[in-house]
C-alpha cells in the first residue's frame, strides 16, 4: 500500500545536510544545543516570511490554489524550495535535540540556561506541530496545494 517514493530523497538529503553539517563543524556542545533549539523558530520565520512575501507581491493573502506556488518567480521559488527542505529538517532537528539533551545534559537540567533552552525548544516545536496539523489561516494547505 505505502511504497517507497524515491522522489522524497530530494527533500531528505538537504534536510540531513542542513542539520548535521553545523553539528559536525561546531565543536561546542553548548552551540549545538542552541542551534538545534533555533531550528523550529527559523522554520516559522522562513515559512511566514514566504507568506508575507506572497501577500506583498500579489496583494492578497495566499489561500489554496491562489496563487499556485509552482508558478512563482525565481526568488520566490528558492524560498519555496527552502521551506520544503525545512519540513524534514525540523523533525530531524527535534530528534537530534532530544538525543543531545539526553546524552549531554542529563545531569545539567538544574542549570537555568538549559532549562530555558529546553522550554524554548518544546514551545517552538509544539507550535510547529500545531501549525502543521491545525493549519490556522490555511497557509499550509496553500503551500502543499
Q: Is the pTM of this model over 0.85?
A: no
Does a structural domain hold residue 89? yes
User: Please, are residues 82 and 46 in contact by the beta-carbon 8 Å criterion?
Assistant: yes
Does a structural domain hold residue 108? yes
User: Cell numbers 520544503 label which residue?
Assistant: 84
Does a structural domain hold residue 114? yes
Does a structural domain hold residue 25? no
Does a structural domain hold residue 118? yes
pLDDT in tens, the chain (145 residues): 455 556 666 666 777 777 777 777 777 777 888 888 889 999 999 999 988 988 888 889 998 888 877 677 666 778 888 888 888 889 888 998 888 888 776 655 557 777 888 889 999 999 999 999 998 889 998 888 7
Does a structural domain hold residue 17? no
Which pLDDT belongs to residue 77? 76
d(CA 136, CA 140): 8
User: Cell numbers 517552538 label which residue?
Assistant: 124
Does a structural domain hold residue 76? yes
Does a structural domain hold residue 1? no
d(CA 5, CA 81): 18
Total of domains in the chain:
1
d(CA 68, CA 91): 26
Q: Which runs of consecutive H residues, i.e. helices, occur in 105-138? A: 112-134
Q: Which domain holds residue 137?
A: 31-144
Supply the angle between the helices 74-104 and 29-58 in degrees, to the nearest 10. Answer: 150
Amino acid at each position: 500500500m505505502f511504497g517507497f517514493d524515491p522522489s522524497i530523497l530530494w527533500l531528505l538529503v538537504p534536510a540531513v545536510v542542513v542539520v548535521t553539517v553545523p553539528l559536525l563543524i561546531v565543536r561546542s556542545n553548548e552551540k549545538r544545543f542552541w542551534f538545534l533549539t533555533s531550528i523550529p523558530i527559523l522554520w516559522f520565520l522562513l515559512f511566514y516570511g514566504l507568506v508575507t512575501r506572497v501577500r506583498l507581491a500579489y496583494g492578497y493573502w495566499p489561500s489554496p490554489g491562489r496563487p499556485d506556488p509552482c508558478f512563482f518567480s525565481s526568488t520566490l521559488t528558492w524560498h519555496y524550495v527552502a521551506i520544503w527542505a525545512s519540513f524534514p529538517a525540523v523533525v530531524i532537528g527535534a530528534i537530534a535535540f532530544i538525543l543531545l539533551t539526553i546524552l549531554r545534559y542529563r545531569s545539567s537540567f538544574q542549570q537555568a540556561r538549559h532549562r530555558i533552552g529546553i522550554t524554548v525548544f518544546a514551545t517552538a516545536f509544539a507550535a510547529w506541530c500545531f501549525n502543521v496539523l491545525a493549519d490556522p489561516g490555511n497557509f499550509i494547505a496553500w503551500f502543499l496545494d
